[in-house]
Structure 1
Amino acid sequence: MILTEKEIEVLEIIEKDSRIQTDVLAKMIALTPEETKSIIEKLEKEKIIVDYSSAINWRKVDGHEGVTAMIDVKVTPKRGVGFDEVAERIYRFPEVRSVYLMSGAYDLSVIIEGHSMSEVAQFVSGKLSTIDSVISTTTHFIMKKYKHDGTVYEQDDEDHRIVVSP
């Protein structure tokens, strides 16, 4: 779909701040709030704007740290549907946050969240590995998030520049 310059501007601004108020956004792109609202509704209807989300640093909330794992999956594609059918079977599990078709040694990259490492291990052995097309998996546990979707999680406000004096 070809978008207008104003529609592209709306997308770029909303991508950085999905909580921006329509009247503020309208001023930024030099349109009326009604025109801006109409653009947003069109982009939502066309599924260009898919969702609005928040980035939460769960490590700072006691008892809610959880475990995130990235799982590389080697798959045998099925005739006529390729990787789509197995990807759909995988993303239907509630633990799964993301599924990507990848180039390289593995076909799919799956990101899941669980309460513990053993819960993730149970998912891999009991659900993921039992899917017919899955040949092998490699699981990587995320130890710490520094930056996710453009958001820096733990920024050190201390100034690390070298002091220069005459």
Structure 2
Amino acid sequence: MNREKQRELLRLLEEDSRLTNEQMGTLLGVAAEEVANEIKRLIDEKIIVKFPALVNWERVNDNPFVTAMIDVKVAPKREVGFNEVAERISRFPEVEAVYLMSGANYDLSVVMEGKSMREVADFVSQKLATFEGVISTATHFILKRYKHDGISFEERDDDHRMVVTP
């Protein structure tokens, strides 16, 4: 599959990974078998790493999760920079993501989920802040999601009233 078709396939999968190989093949103008082979190759090469569903947890009754974004200031180590600390942080199961940041007053951005604010606070104070090389942390709790991965969670009622001007 050429690069252009491969990128189109990746965009289709990002938009709706529930499409069948036949449907994607039709959209791309290739055989379903070629789509299946390309998806397998992309998975094997770790270009495709997961096929997630995006859940709006605010609509689920009794949502059990609190999400926090934690800014981490790190003293980089010779020869490994920030990589060693980032790798160690990413091993915790409650950590959803770790990013190296630029242009900020911190070096790493950590996204984590906990069952309560107390659980997040305990993680930060007992695990994260005690890491060798961690200079400081700042924790931000997500109060409401408006948009995630390009998907808007807000339902807007379109105003169907007639516009009246004087």
The letter of the residue matching 2:5 is: K
Tell me by how many angstroms 1:163 deviates: 2.5
Asked if 1:27 is matched to 2:26, the reply is yes
Question: Is this contact kept in 2: 1:69–1:111, CA < 8 A?
Answer: yes
Aligned residues: 163
> Separation in 2 of the partners of 1:142 and 1:12?
28
Matched, 1:134 2:134: yes
Q: What are structure 1's unaligned runs of at least 5 residues?
A: none
Mapped to 2, the partners of 1:153 and 1:116 lie a distance apart of 22
Alignment of 1:16-165 (within 5 A): 16-103=15-102, 104-156=104-156, 158-160=157-159, 163-164=162-163
- In structure 2, give the amino acid aligned to 1:47: K
Quote how far apart the aligned CAs of 1:61 are: 1.7
Q: Cα offset for 1:160?
A: 3.1
CA–CA distance in structure 1, aligned partners of residues 27 and 55 of structure 2:
27
TM-score (norm 2): 0.93
Deviation per residue, 1:119-158 (Å, 9 max, x gap): 10000000000001100000000000111111112322x1
Unaligned runs of 5+ in 2: none
The amino acid of 2:122's aligned partner reads Q
Partner of 2:6: 7
Residue 81 of structure 1 and its aligned partner are, at CA, apart by 0.7
Q: Once superposed, what is the RMSD of the aligned Cα atoms? A: 1.5
Moved over 6 A (4+): none
Provide the C-alpha distance between the structure 1 equivalents of 2:24 and 2:89, rounded to a whole number of angstroms: 38
